[in-house]
Amino acid sequence: MSPVKIEEHVILDAAAEEFAKLGYDGARVDSIARIAGVNKATLYYRVGDKEELYRRVVLRGQAVFHNAVIQAIENSETATETVTNILKEIANNALENILIPSIILREIAGNAKTLPQEGLDGLKKFMDTTRAIVTMGIEDGVFRDVDPTALQFMITGAIFSLSLTSRMRVLVNSDNPGPITPDQIAVSISDILLNGLLKEGNRQ
């Protein structure tokens, strides 16, 4: 009843750290083995080559956010609540698993050239799911007729960059660093997202 080889987790954790820090091309297999505390040959035997290491890290990371979104949807009644909860869940998971946003941003930066096919499939599913929520809100007359894709990228783009820069922002602008905790991040974004920047009456 222990189907999970314990060292695989250690290896994948180490790989995630290295890939997040240096990107796929900058990452060193030697370094991953060192971080994991295993021999390089063992690493090859247990998981595989660099590409396979990366594939496993990406799929494991994607599952985290996929589950977070599923849970947010299940725990929500209205479309508005769903959006708010998705934001909260993503923000929470982003800071808890900060390596994953880093890897995702690098994939975006690199035109998804190192993203495994299964990762692309998961991305499509994720975008379809969240688009459906926006469409539903529009049809229910609760949401304005916004572009769902723009909304998706505003949410993920903002959460991931805010989460990744929290340390940096404290260093650069200690007296005014902006939102730091996942809660602060989720609240400040959903405020702007739901209500907009303009005061009521000034809308265009």
CA distances from 44 to 32, 50, 118, 165, 180 (A): 11, 9, 22, 34, 38
The residue (of 19 and 143) whose beta carbon lies closer to DNA is: 19
**Dist CA 148 CA 154 (whole Å):** 10
Smallest gap from residue 5 Cβ to its own copies (A) = 29
Based on the shown chain and the rule CB under 7 A, indicate whether residue 118 belongs to the binding site for DNA: no
User: What is the DSSP annotation of 49-106?
Assistant: SHHHHHHHHHHHHHHHHHHHHHHHHHT-SSHHHHHHHHHHHHHHHHHHTTHHHHHHHH
Smallest gap from residue 109 Cβ to DNA (A) = 18
**Dist CA 86 CA 99 (whole Å):** 19
Per CB under 8 A, contacts with its own copies among 183-202 are 185, 188-189, 191-200, 202
DSSP state of 195: H
> Which of DNA, its own copies, none lies near 183, with the C-beta cut-off 5 to 8 A by kind?
none
**Dist CA 115 CA 120 (whole Å):** 7
Smallest gap from residue 36 Cβ to its own copies (A) = 19
Match 């040959």 to its residue by tokens.
41
Please choose, from the candidates 180, 160, 158, the residue with its C-alpha nearest in 3D space to the C-alpha of residue 168: 180
> Which of DNA, its own copies, none lies near 7, with the C-beta cut-off 5 to 8 A by kind?
DNA
Per CB under 8 A, contacts with its own copies among 88-127 are 101-103, 105-106, 108-113, 120, 123-124, 127
The residue (of 34 and 60) whose beta carbon lies closer to DNA is: 34
The contact mask relative to DNA for 29-68 (x = CB under 7 A, - = no) is: xxx------xxxxx-xxx--xxx-----------------
> Do 98 and 164 meet the contact criterion of CB atoms below 8 Å apart?
yes
The residue (of 51 and 191) whose beta carbon lies closer to DNA is: 51
* Binding-residue total with its own copies (CB under 8 A): 73
Residues that bind DNA (CB under 7 A): 5, 7, 27-31, 38-42, 44-46, 49-51
